[in-house]
Structure 1
Amino acid sequence: MTSEITLFVNPGSGRGRGAGAAGPAARALRDAGFTVRSVVGRDAPDALERARAAVAGGTGALIAVGGDGMVSLALQAVAGRDVPLGIVAAGTGNDIARSCGLPLGDPGEAGRTIAAALKAGHVRSIDLGRIGDRWFAGVLASGFDSRVNDRGNRMHWPRGRLRYDAAMLAELAALRPIGYRIGLDGGPCLETQATLVAVGNGPCYGGGMRMCPGARLDDGLFDITVVGPCSRTTLLRVFPKVYRGSHVDHPAVTVHRAARVSLEAEDVTGYADGEPVGPLPLTARCVPGAVRLLVTAGDH
Protein backbone atom coordinates (compact mmCIF):
# COMPACT_ATOMS: atom_id res chain seq x y z
CA MET A 1 0.00 0.00 0.00
CA THR A 2 1.39 3.36 -1.02
CA SER A 3 1.21 6.05 1.66
CA GLU A 4 0.45 8.81 -0.85
CA ILE A 5 -3.24 9.47 -1.37
CA THR A 6 -5.23 12.11 -3.21
CA LEU A 7 -7.93 14.44 -1.88
CA PHE A 8 -10.39 15.34 -4.64
CA VAL A 9 -11.94 18.61 -3.46
CA ASN A 10 -14.90 20.73 -4.54
CA PRO A 11 -14.54 24.08 -2.73
CA GLY A 12 -18.12 25.09 -3.55
CA SER A 13 -19.81 21.90 -2.36
CA GLY A 14 -22.47 22.43 0.30
CA ARG A 15 -22.16 26.25 0.06
CA GLY A 16 -18.48 26.16 0.85
CA ARG A 17 -18.48 23.21 3.27
CA GLY A 18 -16.33 21.26 0.80
CA ALA A 19 -13.35 23.56 1.29
CA GLY A 20 -13.88 23.60 5.05
CA ALA A 21 -14.03 19.80 5.19
CA ALA A 22 -10.78 19.25 3.32
CA GLY A 23 -8.62 20.59 6.16
CA PRO A 24 -9.84 18.33 9.01
CA ALA A 25 -9.89 15.29 6.70
CA ALA A 26 -6.34 15.96 5.49
CA ARG A 27 -5.11 16.45 9.08
CA ALA A 28 -6.61 13.15 10.16
CA LEU A 29 -4.99 11.35 7.24
CA ARG A 30 -1.60 12.98 7.81
CA ASP A 31 -1.77 12.20 11.53
CA ALA A 32 -2.21 8.56 10.50
CA GLY A 33 1.01 8.72 8.47
CA PHE A 34 -0.28 9.32 4.96
CA THR A 35 1.08 11.80 2.44
CA VAL A 36 -1.88 13.82 1.16
CA ARG A 37 -2.04 15.66 -2.13
CA SER A 38 -5.03 17.70 -3.27
CA VAL A 39 -6.71 17.94 -6.66
CA VAL A 40 -8.83 21.02 -7.29
CA GLY A 41 -9.85 21.65 -10.90
CA ARG A 42 -10.87 24.86 -12.63
CA ASP A 43 -14.17 23.17 -13.52
CA ALA A 44 -15.61 19.66 -13.56
CA PRO A 45 -13.88 18.44 -16.77
CA ASP A 46 -10.51 19.78 -15.58
CA ALA A 47 -10.97 18.25 -12.12
CA LEU A 48 -11.87 14.88 -13.62
CA GLU A 49 -8.82 14.96 -15.89
CA ARG A 50 -6.60 15.66 -12.87
CA ALA A 51 -8.26 12.90 -10.84
CA ARG A 52 -7.76 10.41 -13.66
CA ALA A 53 -4.11 11.42 -13.88
CA ALA A 54 -3.70 10.78 -10.13
CA VAL A 55 -5.31 7.34 -10.48
CA ALA A 56 -3.16 6.49 -13.49
CA GLY A 57 -0.10 7.67 -11.55
CA GLY A 58 -0.66 5.09 -8.84
CA THR A 59 -2.19 7.06 -5.97
CA GLY A 60 -3.06 4.87 -3.00
CA ALA A 61 -6.65 6.13 -2.89
CA LEU A 62 -8.87 8.86 -4.32
CA ILE A 63 -10.80 10.66 -1.57
CA ALA A 64 -13.84 12.64 -2.72
CA VAL A 65 -14.51 15.64 -0.48
CA GLY A 66 -17.92 17.15 -1.11
CA GLY A 67 -21.43 16.04 -1.91
CA ASP A 68 -22.93 13.48 -4.25
CA GLY A 69 -21.88 15.48 -7.31
CA MET A 70 -18.23 15.25 -6.25
CA VAL A 71 -18.52 11.55 -5.46
CA SER A 72 -20.15 11.02 -8.85
CA LEU A 73 -17.25 12.81 -10.54
CA ALA A 74 -14.75 10.68 -8.60
CA LEU A 75 -16.52 7.52 -9.72
CA GLN A 76 -15.72 8.39 -13.33
CA ALA A 77 -12.02 8.23 -12.39
CA VAL A 78 -11.94 5.05 -10.27
CA ALA A 79 -14.68 2.78 -11.67
CA GLY A 80 -13.19 -0.43 -12.95
CA ARG A 81 -9.79 0.39 -11.45
CA ASP A 82 -7.95 -1.04 -8.44
CA VAL A 83 -7.57 2.36 -6.73
CA PRO A 84 -10.07 2.53 -3.85
CA LEU A 85 -12.49 5.40 -3.26
CA GLY A 86 -12.93 7.21 0.05
CA ILE A 87 -15.75 9.66 0.81
CA VAL A 88 -15.67 12.72 3.05
CA ALA A 89 -19.34 13.69 2.95
CA ALA A 90 -19.53 17.48 2.91
CA GLY A 91 -22.40 18.31 0.60
CA THR A 92 -26.11 18.91 0.90
CA GLY A 93 -27.56 15.46 0.14
CA ASN A 94 -24.72 13.00 0.85
CA ASP A 95 -26.91 10.11 -0.25
CA ILE A 96 -24.08 7.90 -1.48
CA ALA A 97 -22.24 8.14 1.84
CA ARG A 98 -25.53 7.64 3.70
CA SER A 99 -26.32 4.48 1.71
CA CYS A 100 -22.87 3.09 2.52
CA GLY A 101 -23.06 3.83 6.26
CA LEU A 102 -20.20 6.35 6.16
CA PRO A 103 -19.80 9.37 8.48
CA LEU A 104 -21.94 12.40 7.64
CA GLY A 105 -21.08 15.99 8.55
CA ASP A 106 -17.85 15.12 10.40
CA PRO A 107 -14.84 15.41 8.07
CA GLY A 108 -12.35 14.57 10.82
CA GLU A 109 -14.17 11.34 11.62
CA ALA A 110 -14.45 10.57 7.90
CA GLY A 111 -10.70 11.05 7.55
CA ARG A 112 -10.00 8.75 10.48
CA THR A 113 -12.38 6.14 9.03
CA ILE A 114 -10.56 6.27 5.69
CA ALA A 115 -7.14 6.03 7.35
CA ALA A 116 -8.20 3.01 9.40
CA ALA A 117 -9.72 1.36 6.33
CA LEU A 118 -6.53 1.87 4.32
CA LYS A 119 -4.34 0.42 7.06
CA ALA A 120 -6.58 -2.57 7.74
CA GLY A 121 -7.65 -3.24 4.16
CA HIS A 122 -11.32 -2.61 4.85
CA VAL A 123 -12.53 -2.32 1.26
CA ARG A 124 -16.02 -3.15 0.05
CA SER A 125 -16.64 -3.87 -3.62
CA ILE A 126 -19.95 -2.30 -4.63
CA ASP A 127 -21.96 -2.27 -7.82
CA LEU A 128 -22.37 0.76 -10.05
CA GLY A 129 -24.87 1.65 -12.70
CA ARG A 130 -23.57 2.54 -16.15
CA ILE A 131 -25.27 4.63 -18.84
CA GLY A 132 -23.00 4.74 -21.88
CA ASP A 133 -19.67 5.77 -20.35
CA ARG A 134 -21.28 7.43 -17.31
CA TRP A 135 -21.20 5.66 -13.93
CA PHE A 136 -23.58 6.19 -11.00
CA ALA A 137 -23.82 4.77 -7.50
CA GLY A 138 -27.27 5.83 -6.33
CA VAL A 139 -30.46 6.46 -8.28
CA LEU A 140 -31.30 7.26 -11.89
CA ALA A 141 -34.35 9.53 -11.61
CA SER A 142 -36.85 10.28 -14.36
CA GLY A 143 -40.28 11.85 -14.53
CA PHE A 144 -41.78 14.18 -11.93
CA ASP A 145 -38.62 14.35 -9.82
CA SER A 146 -36.31 15.00 -12.78
CA ARG A 147 -38.68 17.68 -14.07
CA VAL A 148 -38.47 19.35 -10.67
CA ASN A 149 -34.68 19.31 -11.07
CA ASP A 150 -34.97 20.71 -14.59
CA ARG A 151 -37.16 23.56 -13.41
CA GLY A 152 -35.00 24.24 -10.34
CA ASN A 153 -31.89 24.45 -12.51
CA ARG A 154 -33.58 27.09 -14.68
CA MET A 155 -34.59 29.21 -11.70
CA HIS A 156 -32.32 31.95 -10.32
CA TRP A 157 -34.44 32.62 -7.23
CA PRO A 158 -34.99 31.61 -4.48
CA ARG A 159 -31.73 29.95 -3.50
CA GLY A 160 -30.96 26.70 -1.74
CA ARG A 161 -33.67 24.29 -0.63
CA LEU A 162 -36.39 26.91 -1.19
CA ARG A 163 -35.67 26.83 -4.92
CA TYR A 164 -36.30 23.08 -4.99
CA ASP A 165 -39.55 23.56 -3.04
CA ALA A 166 -40.70 26.29 -5.43
CA ALA A 167 -39.88 24.10 -8.42
CA MET A 168 -41.83 21.22 -6.88
CA LEU A 169 -44.91 23.40 -6.38
CA ALA A 170 -44.72 24.56 -9.99
CA GLU A 171 -44.42 21.00 -11.27
CA LEU A 172 -47.30 19.88 -9.05
CA ALA A 173 -49.48 22.46 -10.77
CA ALA A 174 -48.50 20.95 -14.13
CA LEU A 175 -48.72 17.32 -12.95
CA ARG A 176 -49.77 14.84 -15.60
CA PRO A 177 -48.99 11.17 -16.31
CA ILE A 178 -46.04 10.38 -18.57
CA GLY A 179 -46.12 7.60 -21.15
CA TYR A 180 -43.20 5.21 -20.57
CA ARG A 181 -41.78 2.19 -22.32
CA ILE A 182 -39.72 0.21 -19.80
CA GLY A 183 -37.47 -2.65 -20.84
CA LEU A 184 -36.18 -5.09 -18.20
CA ASP A 185 -33.33 -7.47 -18.99
CA GLY A 186 -34.22 -7.59 -22.67
CA GLY A 187 -37.76 -8.82 -22.07
CA PRO A 188 -40.93 -7.41 -23.64
CA CYS A 189 -41.33 -3.66 -23.06
CA LEU A 190 -43.77 -2.60 -20.40
CA GLU A 191 -45.87 0.27 -21.74
CA THR A 192 -47.37 2.26 -18.90
CA GLN A 193 -48.42 5.67 -17.65
CA ALA A 194 -46.40 6.83 -14.68
CA THR A 195 -45.65 9.84 -12.53
CA LEU A 196 -41.99 8.82 -12.24
CA VAL A 197 -39.64 5.90 -12.70
CA ALA A 198 -36.55 5.59 -10.48
CA VAL A 199 -33.77 3.06 -11.13
CA GLY A 200 -31.94 2.38 -7.88
CA ASN A 201 -28.48 0.89 -7.59
CA GLY A 202 -28.64 2.31 -4.05
CA PRO A 203 -31.75 3.24 -2.05
CA CYS A 204 -31.53 7.03 -1.59
CA TYR A 205 -31.60 10.35 -3.37
CA GLY A 206 -32.64 13.91 -2.60
CA GLY A 207 -31.08 14.03 0.87
CA GLY A 208 -32.41 10.83 2.41
CA MET A 209 -35.48 10.01 0.34
CA ARG A 210 -35.57 6.20 0.16
CA MET A 211 -37.15 6.01 -3.27
CA CYS A 212 -35.78 2.50 -3.88
CA PRO A 213 -35.68 1.19 -0.29
CA GLY A 214 -34.92 -2.41 -1.20
CA ALA A 215 -31.94 -1.61 -3.41
CA ARG A 216 -28.66 -3.22 -2.36
CA LEU A 217 -25.24 -2.07 -3.47
CA ASP A 218 -23.82 -5.56 -3.91
CA ASP A 219 -26.50 -7.79 -5.45
CA GLY A 220 -25.88 -7.13 -9.14
CA LEU A 221 -29.40 -5.80 -9.67
CA PHE A 222 -31.31 -2.51 -9.81
CA ASP A 223 -34.55 -1.91 -7.94
CA ILE A 224 -36.90 -0.04 -10.28
CA THR A 225 -39.64 1.95 -8.53
CA VAL A 226 -42.58 2.91 -10.76
CA VAL A 227 -45.04 5.43 -9.35
CA GLY A 228 -48.18 5.20 -11.44
CA PRO A 229 -50.60 8.00 -12.29
CA CYS A 230 -51.80 9.79 -9.19
CA SER A 231 -53.51 13.03 -8.23
CA ARG A 232 -51.77 15.98 -6.63
CA THR A 233 -53.49 15.14 -3.35
CA THR A 234 -52.29 11.54 -3.46
CA LEU A 235 -48.74 12.56 -4.35
CA LEU A 236 -48.60 15.04 -1.47
CA ARG A 237 -50.01 12.45 0.93
CA VAL A 238 -47.61 9.71 -0.14
CA PHE A 239 -44.51 11.92 -0.51
CA PRO A 240 -43.56 12.03 3.23
CA LYS A 241 -43.51 8.22 3.26
CA VAL A 242 -40.55 8.25 0.86
CA TYR A 243 -38.21 9.14 3.75
CA ARG A 244 -39.13 5.85 5.43
CA GLY A 245 -39.40 3.88 2.20
CA SER A 246 -42.97 2.89 3.05
CA HIS A 247 -44.37 4.48 -0.13
CA VAL A 248 -43.73 1.18 -1.92
CA ASP A 249 -46.75 -0.26 -0.05
CA HIS A 250 -49.10 2.17 -1.83
CA PRO A 251 -51.19 0.56 -4.61
CA ALA A 252 -49.96 3.14 -7.13
CA VAL A 253 -46.35 1.97 -6.67
CA THR A 254 -44.76 -1.12 -8.21
CA VAL A 255 -41.18 -2.37 -7.87
CA HIS A 256 -39.21 -4.44 -10.37
CA ARG A 257 -35.70 -5.89 -10.24
CA ALA A 258 -33.37 -6.19 -13.21
CA ALA A 259 -29.72 -5.88 -14.19
CA ARG A 260 -30.44 -3.93 -17.37
CA VAL A 261 -33.12 -1.26 -17.75
CA SER A 262 -34.17 0.82 -20.73
CA LEU A 263 -36.44 3.85 -20.32
CA GLU A 264 -38.26 5.69 -23.09
CA ALA A 265 -40.45 8.77 -22.61
CA GLU A 266 -40.92 12.10 -24.32
CA ASP A 267 -39.59 15.33 -22.85
CA VAL A 268 -38.00 13.67 -19.82
CA THR A 269 -34.40 14.13 -18.65
CA GLY A 270 -32.59 11.45 -16.67
CA TYR A 271 -30.64 12.48 -13.54
CA ALA A 272 -28.12 10.06 -12.00
CA ASP A 273 -26.76 10.85 -8.52
CA GLY A 274 -28.42 14.26 -8.88
CA GLU A 275 -26.55 15.14 -12.07
CA PRO A 276 -28.20 15.41 -15.53
CA VAL A 277 -27.32 12.48 -17.80
CA GLY A 278 -29.42 13.40 -20.82
CA PRO A 279 -32.87 12.99 -22.32
CA LEU A 280 -34.63 9.65 -22.49
CA PRO A 281 -34.35 7.12 -24.08
CA LEU A 282 -31.58 5.82 -21.81
CA THR A 283 -30.31 2.35 -21.00
CA ALA A 284 -28.64 1.55 -17.68
CA ARG A 285 -26.87 -1.66 -16.73
CA CYS A 286 -25.70 -2.77 -13.32
CA VAL A 287 -21.98 -3.59 -13.19
CA PRO A 288 -21.16 -5.81 -10.18
CA GLY A 289 -18.18 -4.83 -8.01
CA ALA A 290 -17.28 -1.87 -10.21
CA VAL A 291 -15.65 0.21 -7.45
CA ARG A 292 -13.67 -0.52 -4.29
CA LEU A 293 -14.99 1.61 -1.41
CA LEU A 294 -13.10 2.35 1.82
CA VAL A 295 -15.48 1.48 4.67
CA THR A 296 -15.63 1.06 8.42
CA ALA A 297 -14.56 -2.17 10.10
CA GLY A 298 -17.09 -4.96 9.71
CA ASP A 299 -18.70 -3.44 6.59
CA HIS A 300 -16.67 -5.15 3.90
Structure 2
Amino acid sequence: MRQFTAVVNPAAGGSTAAAALLRVARVLREAGATLETEYSRSLAHAQDIARGAGERGRVVLAVGGDGIAGGIGGALSGTDTVLGLVPAGRGNDFARALDLPAEPAALARILLDAKPRPVDTVEVCSAVHDRTVVLGSVYAGVDALANRHANQARLLRGAASYYAGGLRAVTTWRPAVYRVTVDGREHTHRGYTVVAANSPYYGSGRMIAPGARVDDGLLEVVMIREAPRRLFFTLMNELRSGAHVERPEVTIVRGREIRVEADRPVPYGADGEVEATLPVTVRVLPGALRMLR
Protein backbone atom coordinates (compact mmCIF):
# COMPACT_ATOMS: atom_id res chain seq x y z
CA MET A 1 0.00 0.00 0.00
CA ARG A 2 1.33 3.43 -0.93
CA GLN A 3 2.55 5.99 1.57
CA PHE A 4 1.61 9.56 0.69
CA THR A 5 2.84 12.98 1.70
CA ALA A 6 0.40 15.72 0.73
CA VAL A 7 1.86 19.20 0.26
CA VAL A 8 -0.92 21.75 0.58
CA ASN A 9 -0.89 25.30 -0.70
CA PRO A 10 -3.16 27.11 1.81
CA ALA A 11 -3.58 30.05 -0.58
CA ALA A 12 -4.95 27.98 -3.51
CA GLY A 13 -8.62 28.74 -3.98
CA GLY A 14 -9.00 30.11 -0.47
CA SER A 15 -9.84 27.20 1.86
CA THR A 16 -10.67 24.77 -0.95
CA ALA A 17 -7.25 23.06 -0.98
CA ALA A 18 -7.60 21.65 2.53
CA ALA A 19 -11.21 20.71 1.88
CA ALA A 20 -10.33 18.93 -1.38
CA LEU A 21 -7.61 16.93 0.37
CA LEU A 22 -9.93 15.89 3.21
CA ARG A 23 -12.39 14.34 0.77
CA VAL A 24 -9.66 12.35 -0.98
CA ALA A 25 -7.80 11.51 2.25
CA ARG A 26 -10.80 9.70 3.71
CA VAL A 27 -10.88 7.27 0.79
CA LEU A 28 -7.10 6.77 0.85
CA ARG A 29 -7.07 5.95 4.57
CA GLU A 30 -10.09 3.68 4.33
CA ALA A 31 -8.17 1.70 1.71
CA GLY A 32 -5.24 1.30 4.13
CA ALA A 33 -2.85 3.92 2.77
CA THR A 34 -0.89 6.18 5.09
CA LEU A 35 -1.07 9.91 4.56
CA GLU A 36 0.84 12.75 6.16
CA THR A 37 -0.05 16.37 5.43
CA GLU A 38 2.32 19.31 5.22
CA TYR A 39 1.27 22.95 4.73
CA SER A 40 3.70 25.05 2.72
CA ARG A 41 4.73 28.58 3.61
CA SER A 42 5.96 29.31 0.09
CA LEU A 43 6.61 27.54 -3.19
CA ALA A 44 10.25 27.01 -2.23
CA HIS A 45 9.13 25.47 1.06
CA ALA A 46 6.70 23.20 -0.78
CA GLN A 47 9.52 22.05 -3.05
CA ASP A 48 11.75 21.27 -0.07
CA ILE A 49 8.99 19.23 1.58
CA ALA A 50 8.41 17.31 -1.66
CA ARG A 51 12.09 16.50 -2.13
CA GLY A 52 12.38 15.29 1.45
CA ALA A 53 9.30 13.09 1.15
CA GLY A 54 10.59 11.62 -2.08
CA GLU A 55 13.91 10.77 -0.48
CA ARG A 56 11.95 8.76 2.09
CA GLY A 57 10.26 6.81 -0.68
CA ARG A 58 6.86 8.43 -0.29
CA VAL A 59 4.44 9.39 -3.06
CA VAL A 60 4.06 13.18 -3.11
CA LEU A 61 0.64 14.77 -3.61
CA ALA A 62 0.56 18.38 -4.79
CA VAL A 63 -2.65 19.91 -3.43
CA GLY A 64 -3.61 23.22 -5.03
CA GLY A 65 -3.47 24.75 -8.47
CA ASP A 66 -1.07 24.87 -11.38
CA GLY A 67 1.50 26.90 -9.47
CA ILE A 68 2.14 24.29 -6.79
CA ALA A 69 1.72 21.41 -9.26
CA GLY A 70 4.31 22.93 -11.59
CA GLY A 71 6.62 23.96 -8.76
CA ILE A 72 6.64 20.54 -7.11
CA GLY A 73 6.69 18.75 -10.45
CA GLY A 74 9.72 20.80 -11.43
CA ALA A 75 11.46 20.04 -8.14
CA LEU A 76 10.91 16.29 -8.62
CA SER A 77 11.80 16.29 -12.31
CA GLY A 78 14.68 13.94 -12.99
CA THR A 79 14.13 11.93 -9.78
CA ASP A 80 12.42 8.59 -9.11
CA THR A 81 9.78 10.21 -6.87
CA VAL A 82 6.17 9.65 -7.93
CA LEU A 83 3.84 12.66 -8.02
CA GLY A 84 0.05 12.77 -7.79
CA LEU A 85 -2.23 15.79 -8.06
CA VAL A 86 -5.22 16.81 -5.96
CA PRO A 87 -6.57 19.74 -8.03
CA ALA A 88 -7.78 22.58 -5.83
CA GLY A 89 -6.70 25.80 -7.50
CA ARG A 90 -8.14 28.40 -9.83
CA GLY A 91 -7.06 26.85 -13.10
CA ASN A 92 -6.07 23.18 -12.60
CA ASP A 93 -4.95 23.06 -16.20
CA PHE A 94 -2.32 20.34 -15.90
CA ALA A 95 -4.77 18.12 -14.03
CA ARG A 96 -7.19 18.75 -16.90
CA ALA A 97 -4.50 17.67 -19.39
CA LEU A 98 -4.11 14.42 -17.43
CA ASP A 99 -7.90 13.96 -17.52
CA LEU A 100 -8.03 13.52 -13.74
CA PRO A 101 -11.56 13.05 -12.35
CA ALA A 102 -13.09 15.71 -10.13
CA GLU A 103 -14.99 13.18 -8.00
CA PRO A 104 -12.89 12.45 -4.85
CA ALA A 105 -13.42 8.68 -4.77
CA ALA A 106 -12.48 8.29 -8.44
CA LEU A 107 -9.38 10.45 -7.96
CA ALA A 108 -8.41 8.44 -4.87
CA ARG A 109 -8.60 5.19 -6.84
CA ILE A 110 -6.13 6.60 -9.38
CA LEU A 111 -3.78 7.65 -6.59
CA LEU A 112 -4.04 4.20 -5.02
CA ASP A 113 -3.97 1.95 -8.06
CA ALA A 114 -2.56 3.74 -11.13
CA LYS A 115 0.84 2.72 -12.37
CA PRO A 116 3.28 5.67 -12.45
CA ARG A 117 3.73 6.90 -16.01
CA PRO A 118 6.35 9.32 -17.35
CA VAL A 119 5.44 12.85 -18.40
CA ASP A 120 7.61 15.55 -19.93
CA THR A 121 8.68 18.59 -17.96
CA VAL A 122 9.80 22.00 -19.23
CA GLU A 123 13.10 23.68 -18.43
CA VAL A 124 12.94 27.49 -18.40
CA CYS A 125 16.20 29.46 -18.52
CA SER A 126 16.69 33.23 -18.38
CA ALA A 127 19.14 35.74 -17.04
CA VAL A 128 16.75 36.52 -14.15
CA HIS A 129 15.56 33.08 -13.08
CA ASP A 130 18.62 31.09 -14.16
CA ARG A 131 16.89 27.68 -14.39
CA THR A 132 13.34 26.71 -13.45
CA VAL A 133 11.45 23.54 -14.33
CA VAL A 134 7.66 23.58 -14.77
CA LEU A 135 4.96 21.28 -16.13
CA GLY A 136 2.46 23.07 -18.34
CA SER A 137 3.42 26.03 -20.50
CA VAL A 138 5.53 29.14 -20.88
CA TYR A 139 3.74 32.16 -22.36
CA ALA A 140 5.17 35.52 -23.37
CA GLY A 141 2.99 38.52 -24.09
CA VAL A 142 -0.53 39.63 -23.38
CA ASP A 143 -1.43 36.37 -21.64
CA ALA A 144 1.41 36.81 -19.14
CA LEU A 145 0.01 40.25 -18.36
CA ALA A 146 -3.50 38.79 -18.13
CA ASN A 147 -2.30 36.14 -15.68
CA ARG A 148 -0.71 38.82 -13.53
CA HIS A 149 -4.02 40.68 -13.40
CA ALA A 150 -5.88 37.42 -12.61
CA ASN A 151 -3.53 36.65 -9.72
CA GLN A 152 -4.19 40.10 -8.32
CA ALA A 153 -7.97 39.67 -8.50
CA ARG A 154 -9.60 39.32 -5.11
CA LEU A 155 -13.30 39.14 -5.91
CA LEU A 156 -13.20 36.74 -8.87
CA ARG A 157 -12.21 33.07 -9.06
CA GLY A 158 -11.54 30.46 -11.71
CA ALA A 159 -12.22 31.24 -15.35
CA ALA A 160 -13.88 34.55 -14.46
CA SER A 161 -10.65 35.95 -13.03
CA TYR A 162 -8.70 34.94 -16.15
CA TYR A 163 -11.32 36.40 -18.47
CA ALA A 164 -11.38 39.70 -16.57
CA GLY A 165 -7.59 39.73 -16.50
CA GLY A 166 -7.52 39.11 -20.25
CA LEU A 167 -9.88 41.98 -20.99
CA ARG A 168 -7.79 44.34 -18.88
CA ALA A 169 -4.56 43.20 -20.52
CA VAL A 170 -5.81 43.46 -24.11
CA THR A 171 -7.07 47.03 -23.66
CA THR A 172 -3.56 48.25 -22.81
CA TRP A 173 -1.43 45.90 -24.92
CA ARG A 174 0.55 47.11 -27.90
CA PRO A 175 1.92 44.38 -30.21
CA ALA A 176 5.58 43.43 -29.96
CA VAL A 177 7.92 42.10 -32.61
CA TYR A 178 8.93 38.57 -31.57
CA ARG A 179 11.87 36.52 -32.75
CA VAL A 180 11.17 32.86 -32.01
CA THR A 181 13.84 30.26 -32.70
CA VAL A 182 12.55 26.67 -32.71
CA ASP A 183 15.24 23.99 -32.95
CA GLY A 184 17.47 26.43 -34.80
CA ARG A 185 14.83 27.75 -37.21
CA GLU A 186 13.87 31.40 -36.79
CA HIS A 187 10.31 32.76 -36.98
CA THR A 188 9.54 36.48 -36.77
CA HIS A 189 6.13 38.01 -36.19
CA ARG A 190 4.48 41.11 -34.76
CA GLY A 191 1.71 40.25 -32.39
CA TYR A 192 0.22 39.36 -29.05
CA THR A 193 1.87 36.25 -27.67
CA VAL A 194 4.08 33.21 -28.02
CA VAL A 195 3.21 30.08 -26.03
CA ALA A 196 5.46 27.03 -25.66
CA ALA A 197 3.01 24.40 -24.48
CA ASN A 198 3.55 20.98 -22.93
CA SER A 199 -0.17 20.84 -22.04
CA PRO A 200 -3.12 21.78 -24.26
CA TYR A 201 -4.61 24.04 -21.58
CA TYR A 202 -3.84 27.27 -19.81
CA GLY A 203 -5.79 30.14 -18.23
CA SER A 204 -8.41 27.90 -16.55
CA GLY A 205 -9.40 25.56 -19.36
CA ARG A 206 -8.52 27.58 -22.44
CA MET A 207 -7.26 25.18 -25.11
CA ILE A 208 -4.33 27.21 -26.37
CA ALA A 209 -2.49 24.23 -27.94
CA PRO A 210 -4.95 21.45 -28.85
CA GLY A 211 -2.22 19.24 -30.29
CA ALA A 212 0.08 19.39 -27.26
CA ARG A 213 0.71 16.13 -25.40
CA VAL A 214 2.38 15.76 -22.01
CA ASP A 215 4.39 12.69 -23.01
CA ASP A 216 5.49 13.12 -26.65
CA GLY A 217 8.87 14.77 -26.07
CA LEU A 218 7.83 17.94 -27.91
CA LEU A 219 6.49 21.40 -27.17
CA GLU A 220 3.75 22.98 -29.27
CA VAL A 221 4.64 26.60 -30.03
CA VAL A 222 1.63 28.84 -30.66
CA MET A 223 2.26 32.31 -32.14
CA ILE A 224 -0.61 34.80 -32.43
CA ARG A 225 0.06 37.69 -34.78
CA GLU A 226 -1.33 41.19 -34.65
CA ALA A 227 -5.05 41.50 -35.40
CA PRO A 228 -7.77 44.11 -34.88
CA ARG A 229 -8.74 44.23 -31.22
CA ARG A 230 -12.26 43.08 -32.05
CA LEU A 231 -10.90 39.97 -33.74
CA PHE A 232 -8.57 39.29 -30.84
CA PHE A 233 -11.56 39.15 -28.48
CA THR A 234 -13.09 36.59 -30.88
CA LEU A 235 -9.85 34.61 -30.69
CA MET A 236 -10.07 34.66 -26.89
CA ASN A 237 -13.52 33.12 -27.05
CA GLU A 238 -12.34 30.49 -29.54
CA LEU A 239 -9.72 29.33 -27.04
CA ARG A 240 -12.52 27.48 -25.25
CA SER A 241 -12.72 24.97 -28.09
CA GLY A 242 -9.35 25.33 -29.80
CA ALA A 243 -11.00 26.74 -32.94
CA HIS A 244 -8.50 29.63 -32.99
CA VAL A 245 -5.89 27.35 -34.60
CA GLU A 246 -7.75 27.68 -37.93
CA ARG A 247 -7.24 31.46 -38.00
CA PRO A 248 -4.58 32.83 -40.38
CA GLU A 249 -3.28 34.98 -37.50
CA VAL A 250 -2.26 31.82 -35.61
CA THR A 251 0.89 29.86 -36.46
CA ILE A 252 1.80 26.59 -34.74
CA VAL A 253 5.13 24.76 -34.90
CA ARG A 254 6.60 22.00 -32.76
CA GLY A 255 10.06 21.59 -31.31
CA ARG A 256 12.30 20.64 -28.42
CA GLU A 257 14.13 23.91 -27.74
CA ILE A 258 12.59 27.36 -28.13
CA ARG A 259 14.22 30.76 -27.72
CA VAL A 260 11.84 33.75 -27.46
CA GLU A 261 13.03 37.34 -27.81
CA ALA A 262 11.25 40.65 -28.46
CA ASP A 263 12.00 44.19 -29.54
CA ARG A 264 10.92 45.62 -26.20
CA PRO A 265 10.51 44.37 -22.61
CA VAL A 266 7.75 41.73 -22.80
CA PRO A 267 6.60 39.80 -19.73
CA TYR A 268 6.50 36.03 -19.66
CA GLY A 269 5.09 33.54 -17.19
CA ALA A 270 5.03 29.80 -16.58
CA ASP A 271 2.37 27.67 -14.89
CA GLY A 272 0.83 30.80 -13.39
CA GLU A 273 3.81 31.53 -11.16
CA VAL A 274 7.07 32.53 -12.83
CA GLU A 275 7.07 36.22 -13.75
CA ALA A 276 9.98 37.72 -15.67
CA THR A 277 10.84 39.52 -18.90
CA LEU A 278 12.09 38.16 -22.22
CA PRO A 279 14.38 36.77 -23.51
CA VAL A 280 13.84 33.19 -22.37
CA THR A 281 14.93 29.74 -23.54
CA VAL A 282 12.60 26.79 -23.08
CA ARG A 283 13.53 23.10 -23.44
CA VAL A 284 11.46 19.95 -23.09
CA LEU A 285 12.77 17.26 -20.74
CA PRO A 286 11.23 14.06 -22.13
CA GLY A 287 9.77 11.63 -19.60
CA ALA A 288 11.50 13.37 -16.70
CA LEU A 289 8.72 12.97 -14.12
CA ARG A 290 6.71 9.96 -12.93
CA MET A 291 3.06 10.76 -12.30
CA LEU A 292 -0.13 8.96 -11.28
CA ARG A 293 -2.74 9.42 -14.00
Q: TM-score, normalised by structure 2?
A: 0.91
- Residue 30 of structure 1, CA deviation: 1.4
Given that 1:147 and 1:268 are in contact with CA atoms closer than 8 Å, whether structure 2 keeps it comes out as: no
Q: 1:84 maps to what in 2?
A: 82
Given that 1:129 and 1:285 are in contact with CA atoms closer than 8 Å, whether structure 2 keeps it comes out as: yes
Q: State percent identity of aligned pairs.
A: 34
Moved more, 257-266 or 168-177: 168-177
Count of equivalent residues: 286
Q: 1:114 maps to what in 2?
A: 111
- Residue 157 of structure 1, CA deviation: 5.8
Q: 2:5 maps to what in 1?
A: 6
User: Per the alignment, in what secondary structure is the counterpart of residue 90 of structure 2?
Assistant: coil
- Residue 149 of structure 1, CA deviation: 2.3
User: Per the alignment, in what secondary structure is the counterpart of residue 6 of structure 1?
Assistant: strand
Is 1:130 matched up with 2:128? no
Q: 1:252 maps to what in 2?
A: 249
Structure (1 or 2) with the greater strand fraction: 2
Aligned alpha-carbon RMSD (Å): 1.8
- Residue 166 of structure 1, CA deviation: 4.1
Superposed, 1:1-40 pairs within 5 Å as 3-40=2-39
Alpha-carbon distance in structure 1 between the residues aligned to 2:46 and 2:183: 35
Which structure 1 residue ranges, 4+ long, deviate > 6 Å from structure 2?
none
Alpha-carbon distance in structure 1 between the residues aligned to 2:20 and 2:108: 10
Consecutive unaligned residues of structure 2, counting only runs of 5 or more, are: 126-130
Instruction: Call closer, same or farther: CA 1:89–1:163 in 2, change over 3 Å.
Output: closer
User: Per the alignment, in what secondary structure is the counterpart of residue 133 of structure 2?
Assistant: strand
Consecutive unaligned residues of structure 1, counting only runs of 5 or more, are: 296-300
Alpha-carbon distance in structure 1 between the residues aligned to 2:287 and 2:163: 36
Given that 2:162 and 2:203 are in contact with CA atoms closer than 8 Å, whether structure 1 keeps it comes out as: no
Alpha-carbon distance in structure 2 between the residues aligned to 1:17 and 1:67: 10
User: Per the alignment, in what secondary structure is the counterpart of residue 36 of structure 2?
Assistant: strand
Is 1:191 matched up with 2:188? yes
Q: TM-score, normalised by structure 1?
A: 0.89
Given that 2:90 and 2:157 are in contact with CA atoms closer than 8 Å, whether structure 1 keeps it comes out as: no
Which of 276, 280, 284 is 1:282 aligned to?
280
- Residue 57 of structure 1, CA deviation: 2.3
